[in-house]
Chains A and B, each alone.
Chain A
Amino acid sequence: MHPPDISATPLLLGETGLFGIRTSPTDQASSLGFILLNAGMLPSVGPFRMNVELADAMSRLGTTALRLDQSGKGESPVRPELTPADAALLDYDEAFANLRRCGVEGTIIAGLCSGAVDALQIAAARESVVGLVLLDGYVEQTLRWHLYHRANRAALQTRRIFRRVSNAISMGPRGAIEHMKRKLEADSIETEAPILTDYRDWETLDLRSSYAQVLGRGVKILSVFSGTFPPYNHHGQMARFLGSEIDTHNLTEVFLQRADHTYTTALCRQHLLETVCGWFSRNFPNETKRHE
């Protein structure tokens, strides 16, 4: 059953009926709210119900959590008259207004993938945001990313060549020649497969400036990357991308290399929960409820 120390309330917010589930500790809640945004087009429960687990865990630490279906996603109707960016801001304003009635004064916003980009842009526009949990959020490929990428590809090619040579030996000379011909033909039509970022308009947004702005304002950021997010391939890439001119002492960068982008397995999600809750306890000690 749901932990008895937590209560869950379904909400319809604002004029359009924005949907969310608010999860609160049944005793004294902290003055921090934890808002979870949609991951892509998934409903507010998140991939493999990850958002429910995160909201419950954060409520057990004392925050009032709100899993939000942003306009046009999950149960929430679209706001056809607004751009997605404006709609995201209005969604946040309505969510925050509800949380304020529960005694919340500041928020931490969490999002995966597109949700992380939305969270960053909302934080840049709203001073009530004091923390961000960005899961596979925006990062650019640095020089070191390219070095790692090439090294990984070279290792892959070496393994492939070794496998082909082994196969050729077992096939005999004639079979090997035929096999190599077919492989060469196949390789000649091979193209680079599109990656996640090919479907995004991130390059049109100045997200590095958004990072600089929110970090400069003192917003604490937990940036978690999974092992299957193509734009990221080594720990420290985020800090390098932001560069030395941006103060990153409020940035915590974590590489959960064994996890996949949508945290498919229960163990991946457990690692994520521990990472997020640990970061929260360290960075907001006065807001964290102690658990026996």
Chain B
Amino acid sequence: MEPFYFGANNTLFGAYHMAEGMPRRHAILIAGPLLNEGIRAHFALLQVANRCAAAGYDVLRFDYTGLGNSRGSTADSSLEDWSADIVVAAAELAKISGSPTRTLITTRFASNLAAGITKTTPIDRLVMWDPVLAGGHWLEMLREGQEKLPARLLNLIEDQDREFMGHITSATFVAELEARLPVSLDVDSRSAVISRGYRHLRTLEAITDDIQQVDADCRWQANTSDVLYPIDVINAICTRLI
């Protein structure tokens, strides 16, 4: 794995996994989840990247502006910024690997954010893990997670319309989310791997009939900082790609 900063002013953090053995002819971009979901899913997506690289794919994981190891602040970032980060990351991966980015793995709300990528990058395969396709759906989940916080912590949140999962978001975050409708990427192959307790199945069925249900408990909104390591989900994603 090669860590580096890229993008305008070198503000985005990337972790590049170079293909092992005989390289395939295209690369895989992993667009992880946002806010604290990204920290929880880090280990699982690292395993996916390692396995895809071992199978001969160049892989890039990256952190969105203001999240993970990237610079900036969530308070100054919009959904448009994060959507643009995916496009920039795809271009960067094509540049460093010398192969076009043809496969995209999205997780949670990244499945909505990735909509703009097909305007610049011809994606052939899209794999979605527990996708959240509408902004309103994710906002609902964020608020439910917030409500589960103990009262003593709720009292320590200065603005409950801006702070979600320990991160202060921009002043327009809620309005931006509400305006985000379900999207469908224009790609040849769309599939989804969903874990136990997945909601909004009907919305997902409207964009793909290739849905695999895995008996794994992925509690994205849990108020814990432990890592998420659903091995059956990782196996399902890798089986589809390798």
Contacts and interface: CB of A to CB of B under 8 A. Distances in A.
A52 B71 CA distance: 9
B86 interface: no
A266 B1 CA distance: 31
Interface stretch (A37-45, A203-211, A282-290): A37-45
B152 interface: yes
Contacts of A40: 225-226
B168 interface: yes
Counting chain A residues whose Cβ lies within 8 A of the other chain, the interface size class is: 20 to 34
Contact of A45 (B1, B69, B163): B69
B225 A42 contact: yes
Contacts of A21: 69
Contact of B163 (A10, A12, A39, A265): A265
Nearest to B65: A1
A48 B225 contact: yes
Interface stretch (A153-161, A256-264, A273-281): A256-264
B153 A264 contact: yes
Main secondary structure of the interface of A (DSSP, over half): loop
B3 A43 contact: no
A10 B3 contact: yes
Nearest to A50: B166
Given A2-B72, A21-B69, A264 B43 contact: no
Interface stretch (B8-16, B93-101, B185-193): B8-16
Nearest to A258: B156
Contacts of B13: 10
B216 interface: no
B152 A258 contact: yes
Contact of B5 (A8, A19, A52, A260): A8
Interface of B: 1-5, 9, 11, 13, 15, 36, 39, 42-43, 46, 67-69, 71-73, 76, 149-150, 152-153, 156-158, 163, 165-168, 223-227
21 contacts: A1-B72, A1-B73, A2-B72, A8-B69, A10-B3, A39-B225, A40-B226, A42-B39, A43-B42, A43-B43, A45-B69, A47-B39, A48-B167, A52-B69, A260-B150, A260-B152, A264-B149, A264-B153, A265-B153, A265-B156, A266-B168
